[in-house]
A and B are shown apart, each in its own frame.
Chain A
Amino acid sequence: MMFLLHLLPDAFLIWIINLLLVGGLIGIVVGFFGSKIPFVGTYARMIQIASIILFCIGLYWKGGYSVEADWRERVAEMEAKIKIAEEKSKEANVVIETKYKDRVKKITETKEIIVEKIKINEKIIDAKCELDPVVISILNEAAKKP
């Protein structure tokens, strides 16, 4: 029945639990010492038994509520930690994205320099070498994904 605690608002729950505990305690005291009071004395035993039952229920619920509150606190703590972790994760992603962009920029710049060098030295490169089509075919074959 402890899962029912989830369904009730906190303030109401505490109010009920405290009411049971205080009411039960008062009932127990009345049961013990109220035998001398004219009207109460007749029902003293019944009041005592009912009060003990109410007090026990209140005590059980108090324990249950404490455990429940402890869990709720832990869940809230965990949620806060997760939120921080998610923020950190996003920050790490930004760092990685920036690094990638920087590296690509560097690669592109270097590539442009090399391509430019090839263009400048094109005549020298082609002067002493004429490639057989079989070379291209072999190279292209190697470039294809197996």
Chain B
Amino acid sequence: MKKLLILLLLAGCSTTVPVARKFPEVPDVLMVSCPPLTQIKEGTTKLSEVVTVVTDNYFEYHKCSDKNDLWMEWFKAQKEIFDSVK
């Protein structure tokens, strides 16, 4: 009986937060790292091959840049939603 009473009294000291908030989910597409830049085949002398690889890398950069922009957009949107709950 004494132990039960102590337990009940100690339960009064618990400071459980009644409402828990989950960290917002991040879209899977944003969680993929940017790939390394494509290398030019050693020994090639053709400018067209170099231009192709450089073009490839340019477009990879564009994708990565867009991903970065969307990360910022995601953060802004989620922050706004988070701050709206008061």
Number of interface residues of B (CB under 8 A): 49
Chain A contact residues: helix, strand, loop or mixed: helix
Contact B48 A125 (CB under 8 A): yes
Residues of A within 8 A of B86 (CB): 81
Contact B37 A143 (CB under 8 A): yes
Chain B contact residues: helix, strand, loop or mixed: helix
Contact B84 A100 (CB under 8 A): no
B22 at the interface (CB under 8 A from A): yes
B19 at the interface (CB under 8 A from A): yes
Interface residues of B in 4-45 (CB under 8 A from A): 8, 11-12, 18-19, 21-22, 24-30, 36-45
23 contacts between A and B (CB under 8 A): A4-B8, A78-B19, A86-B24, A89-B25, A92-B81, A93-B24, A95-B77, A97-B29, A99-B70, A100-B27, A100-B66, A103-B63, A104-B63, A107-B62, A111-B56, A118-B55, A121-B48, A125-B51, A126-B48, A136-B40, A139-B50, A139-B54, A143-B36
